[in-house]
Amino acid sequence: RNELTHLFTKTGIQCSEVLWSPAGSIVAMAYFAPDTCMFDLHDVESNTLLASQLRHDRCSRIYWDPSGRFLATCTITDLRNASARANFEDGFNIYTFQGKLLNRVKKEKLYQFSWRPRPKDLLTADERRAHGQHHPVPDQRRRLCDLFG
């Protein structure tokens, strides 16, 4: 039997969209105004505000990555309005789930944003153990910087 449980109520904030992290415990509460997007990040399990009043001008969409560790805010150009004048501030920002800005990418007329899908795991448990001893996992931020310049 599924039941809903009231965890807490947030008052005094504007919110037009609630976006749950795929990891499940973090939520982005966003307010999309005509010229900007303001959002907060909350840990609902501990009722903790992780980041407050993060802002991305002209932002039209927010996307969680499949792992729930990163969040992208984007200015997406509507294809029906593709002839509209581009803004040099358009593009996307990448944040951690704690709200730390990792990267800002400026891109005129961004039509779509999508996270690269990641398979659950391509290696067996034995292969992971064997490779883990000889190949340390690179720092996540360095991988993102390599990816986004």
| Model pLDDT for residues 55-80, shown as the tens digit of each residue | 998 888 999 999 899 999 998 877 77
Q: Are strands 36-43 and 70-74 parallel, antiparallel or unpaired?
A: unpaired
Does the global pTM surpass 0.85?
Answer: no
Strands (E), 12-148: 17-20, 26-32, 36-43, 48-57, 61-64, 70-74, 91-96, 101-106
The pLDDT, as a whole number, for residue 96 is 94
Phi–psi pair at 96, nearest 5 degrees: -80, 170
80-131 pLDDT per residue, tens: 766 666 666 788 999 999 999 999 999 878 888 888 877 666 677 787 777 7
